[in-house]
């Protein structure tokens, strides 16, 4: 009987547990930079490398959906210099990495209120979505200017408009109605939510969608998170018993 490689073992676990969707709160870039006596910008740039590693790992392991928290609605409260840097980092990363991601069959989407971003950045985002929309590999959702409460407010407003036009009757509103009006309407809810950096909070991330997700917090900062760390998370997921309230 052939000996399975480490990747094959994890791939089998993904199949066995039907692990489709991993969501990540990418925390700890600035703390990692501080501990290495570097400006915070270096931590954010190193975080891009970790995101690329996570995408490749999901592809290797057979995980179809990866959603990452890149910029929250609350992050506007950071210094104007850091906000400008993060906006520029997203633009530059997409422009530099889009060709490779497209060749690797990645599907790129964005969740959040992107209308608040500059016209230039919106065009870059739309181009990334359009370029990769027919791919069939890992689905990467980047949460940018995203907040779960803001998302739910948008969904409620959209549903109210449909009620006003008679498209929906109030008595027919269900959980599926709400799910289908969220930014994530076309993808399954996360099976596993990972937070790096050790903080024990959700930070207004996918509040509706993670109702029955398994939660895993690691003390590793995001720039330290690699393929091995993702494999360890999947092994931990394998050891969980998902009851869904039963």
Q: Three-class SS of residue 158?
A: helix
- Residue 4, Ramachandran bin (φ over 0: left; ψ between -120 and 50: alpha; else beta): beta
- Among 7, 59, 75, 180, which one carries the catalytic annotation? 75
**CB count in 10 Å sphere of residue 123:** 12
**Tokens representing 172?**
């027919």
The active-site residue, picked from 27, 60, 189, 191, is 27
Tell me if residue 204 is catalytic. no
Helix (H, G, I), strand (E, B) or coil at 70: strand
Calpha distance 142→126 (Å, rounded)? 13
Q: What CA–CA distance (Å, rounded) separates 124 from 92?
A: 9
The set of long-range contacts for 51-54, using a CB threshold of 8 Å and a minimum separation of 24, is: 51/26, 52/97, 53/225, 53/226, 53/227, 54/24, 54/225, 54/227, 54/230
Distance (Å, whole) CA 182 – CA 149:
11
For helices 80-103 and 40-61, give the axis angle rounded to 10 degrees. 30
Known catalytic residue at 135: no
Return the beta strands (E) in the chain as ranges: 21-25, 65-72, 107-111, 139-146, 192-195, 214-217
- Mind telling me the catalytic residues? 27, 75
């Amino acid at each position: 009987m052939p000996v399975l490689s480490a990747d094959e073992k994890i791939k089998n676990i993904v199949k066995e547990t039907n692990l489709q969707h991993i969501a990540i709160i990418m925390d700890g870039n600035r703390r990692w930079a501080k501990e290495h006596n570097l400006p915070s910008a270096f931590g954010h740039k190193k975080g891009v490398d970790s995101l690329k590693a996570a995408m490749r790992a999901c592809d290797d392991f057979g995980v179809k959906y990866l959603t990452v928290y890149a910029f929250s609605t609350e992050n506007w409260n950071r210094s104007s210099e850091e906000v400008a840097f993060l906006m520029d980092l997203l633009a530059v990363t997409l422009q530099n990495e889009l060709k490779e991601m497209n060749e690797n069959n990645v599907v790129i989407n964005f969740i959040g209120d992107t209308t608040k971003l500059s016209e230039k950045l919106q065009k870059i985002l739309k181009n990334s979505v359009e370029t990769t929309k027919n791919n069939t590999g890992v689905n990467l959702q980047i949460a940018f200017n995203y907040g779960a409460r803001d998302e739910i407010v948008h969904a409620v407003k959209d549903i109210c408009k449909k009620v006003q036009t008679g498209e929906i009757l109030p008595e027919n509103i269900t959980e599926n109605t709400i799910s289908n009006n969220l930014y994530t309407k076309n993808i399954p809810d996360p099976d596993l939510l990972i937070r790096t950096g050790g903080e024990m909070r959700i930070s207004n991330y996918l509040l509706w969608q993670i109702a029955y997700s398994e939660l895993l917090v690691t003390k590793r900062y995001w720039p330290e998170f690699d393929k091995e760390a993702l494999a360890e998370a999947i092994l931990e997921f394998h050891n969980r018993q998902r009851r869904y309230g039963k």
